[in-house]
Amino acid sequence: MKHQPSTEFPSSVSVADHVPASSANAASNAAVRGPAPVARAFRPEGLDPTEPTSQRQPPPNPQRPTRIAIIDSGVNLAHPHIGNIAGGVTIASSTTDPTYIDRLGHGTAVAALIHDRAPQAQLFAVKVFRDALVTNLPTLLSAIDWCLAHDIDLINLSLGTTNQNHRGAFEAAIAPVQAKGKALISAAEMQNQPALPGILPGVIAVLADNSKEAGEFGIKTLHGKNVFTASPYPREIPNVPRESNLHGISFAVAHITATIANLWNPNSSRNAESLLLQPSTHPVALPFEG
């Protein structure tokens, strides 16, 4: 599916995290804008991208690990906290970068947290940010399409928009995610405003809660649906105070993604929300080894 930019309203999607001014990754909340995307490069698990989707998807494997896509700024494979990266893609409009190397650090921090909490999961870096935390709505929709075409179980979306004009586009993108029994995890609010796609039915909506530790989550009702709360902090860095590191809703989303990954069975009919709501996990402080 090729997504074209709308001429009726501007795209407006942002990442609502706190980036310390001293950080090399410092960037303000970034609007998503620009022309339609082009998929530049991907070959996860040696699959041939020139083949039709039905031929390049691997056959069902009841023993395979949970597959998580991190739609973000890519991943730095050399980072010591990164592991089990099974593949990825760069989706952009005007880049010649054939890799999904992270130049910003945000995607690497999200991937490090998920790998730390769910080390058995296979991670896929779906890069939509290149030189800044800026992309466009069609790129984001194409990234979701890519996840569906590559049998991704959980889509971690640490960004969102308060522009309700995008609702229809997100609903159309999320429908096949639900139909295939997959899950998309995203922020419920940004700047205290309802955020898309998080508030849509079928999306796992997340809010940050400073009182939660890694592995803990809470549940509340907001915007007419269940919303899951989690810690806004990434993986700890020795001798670095939490507040001096990246932190925000992106990492709360990643914590919930990791929690679902530890409960997920690719061959089960249980959806992600029902797993979080089951008596053994609601409310919960899941075992966690730092």
Domain ranges of the chain: 63-285
Report the mean per-residue pLDDT for the chain: 79
User: pLDDT, tens digit, for every residue of 103-126?
Assistant: 999 999 999 999 999 999 999 999
**pLDDT tens digits, 39-87:** 333 333 333 444 444 444 445 555 789 999 999 999 999 999 999 999 9
- Are the CB atoms for 27 and 105 separated by under 8 Å? no
- CB of 288 closer than 8 Å to CB of 234: no
Of 47 and 164, which is predicted with more confidence? 164
- pLDDT-based confidence at residue 279 (cuts at 50, 70, 90): confident
Q: Which residue has the tokens 């007419």?
A: 224
Q: What's residue 97's pLDDT? A: 56
Q: Is the pTM of this model over 0.75?
A: yes
Between 240 and 65, the higher pLDDT residue: 65
Number of C-beta neighbours around residue 179 at 10 A: 10
Task: State percent of the chain over pLDDT 70.
Answer: 73
Q: Which fold has domain 63-285?
A: Rossmann fold (3.40.50)
